[in-house]
Amino acid sequence: MRDTKTGLIWRRCALGQTWQKIKGCVGEIALMRRAEVDENVRLLGGGWRLPTVDELLTLVDARCQEPVINTKIFGKVRDTTGEGANYLTASVYLEGDALIPALFYTIDLLNGGVDAHTKGFVGAVRLVR
């Protein structure tokens, strides 16, 4: 799905799901650690990658109530971990001007919250190119 404002092309469904015209995203959302994302993306091919925190935030729509993403375009979003619908990003956490490479940003697509987690955190993945 091409975003006309940013020019980014988004996969409509999270990894582990496929799009069906009438049903939307079907299948189980794959939860993975950051280290597992690269291998899954490589196997998928097509130039897909993990979005930055700023790119993923472009999908957050303040007009939407929980979830804060357009579910007609991107399918249903649900709590996947008991801590929300946390989606991984490629962005390393910043503390002031200092990078903290042990932490990276995630975005909860239920409420739009941005948080930082360790590389061992398991989250959902939505890809962009």
pLDDT at residue number 97: 74
Neighbour count for residue 96 (Cβ, 10 Å): 6
Question: Buried (b) or exposed (e) across 29-64, using 16+ Cβ within 10 A?
Answer: bbbbebeebeebbeeeeeebebbebebbeebbeeee
Whole-number Å distance between alpha carbons of 18 and 122:
20
pLDDT value for 95? 78
User: Three-state DSSP class for 56?
Assistant: helix
Digit-by-digit pLDDT tens for the chain (129 residues) are: 899 999 999 999 999 999 998 899 999 999 999 889 988 999 988 999 999 999 999 999 988 888 999 999 998 888 987 889 999 999 998 777 777 778 999 999 999 999 999 989 999 999 999
| Predicted TM-score of the model (pTM) | 0.90
Give the helix/strand (H/E) hosting 41. helix 34-44
CA dist 95 and 54 (Å) reads 16
Radius of gyration of the chain from its Cα atoms, rounded to whole angstroms: 14
